[in-house]
Amino acid sequence: MRIALIATMFCVTAAAATGQSHTSTKKTATLPGRSECVENVGLCVTVPAAWQRLGDVFDDMGFVVAEPHPGTDSATWPQLNVAIIDVPAQKNGAAVSLDSLVERVLAPNGASSTAETQQRTRLLLNGANAQILRVKLRDEAQQAETIEQVALIEGEDGLVYSVALRCAPQEFDRLDPVFQKAVHSWRIKPVTPKPAASNPTSQDSKKK
């Protein structure tokens, strides 16, 4: 169950927050960008052209791109994580609501990090119901703080699309436009079937 993906993304041990509802009108970044996709499903977003794709994650159902900081560990770079969550239906067959999914994300899990939910927003993103959560995480062991901002977008057939920004608190104001551009640019492109592998035996028989 891919709910675990979001729980891991937040490392949440704290609490719910009050919400607000509106249609998004926030301006997005005008930096040069390029399209990056989860190829298996065709989920695409626009990311900064200078950012580096670090690889696929979650059994090829997501990817990570990061802003390069030469001379430092790539694990510490500001990151965008884009993923698809397959949310099983409830026992009665009804789809799990975004509200229910968010509450699971925000449920305490006993991790060593503490979390402060700074904002929870309900909105429409390209016509789809969505929620954006911003959480400040504090690693008690390393005495370090991180901001996680995640958009959960309601897809079709029980799928939820996730776009998450992870960065240091002092970098958030600079990088929030990058996140906004990514979430407002989400789209599904047709998936091109991979060509079938050729059969050498069949080709040899044709030559004969």
- Residue 152: inside a domain, yes or no? yes
Share of the chain above pLDDT 70, in %: 74
Least confident range of 9-23, 76-90, 194-208: 9-23
195 is a domain residue: no
Does 166 map to a domain? yes
In a domain, 131, yes or no: yes
The pair of three-digit structure tokens given for residue 139, joined into one six-digit string: 């690693």
Q: What pTM value is reported for the model?
A: 0.76
Lowest mean pLDDT among 23-37, 52-66, 92-106, 107-121: 23-37
- The CATH number covering residue 171 comes to 3.40.1000.10
Is 198 inside any structural domain? Answer: no
pLDDT at 23: 39
124-144: burial string, b at 16+ Cβ within 10 Å, e else: ebeeeebbbbbbbbbeeeeee
Is residue 200 domain-resident? no
Residue 138 parent element (H or E): strand 128-139
Residue 111, domain extent? 3-16+32-189
Structural domain count, the chain: 1
> Which range among 90-94, 163-167, 181-185, 196-200 shows the weakest confidence by mean pLDDT?
196-200
27: tokens are 């301006």
Residue 26 in any domain: the answer is no
Interval 81-92 mean pLDDT: 83
- Is there a domain that residue 27 lies in? no
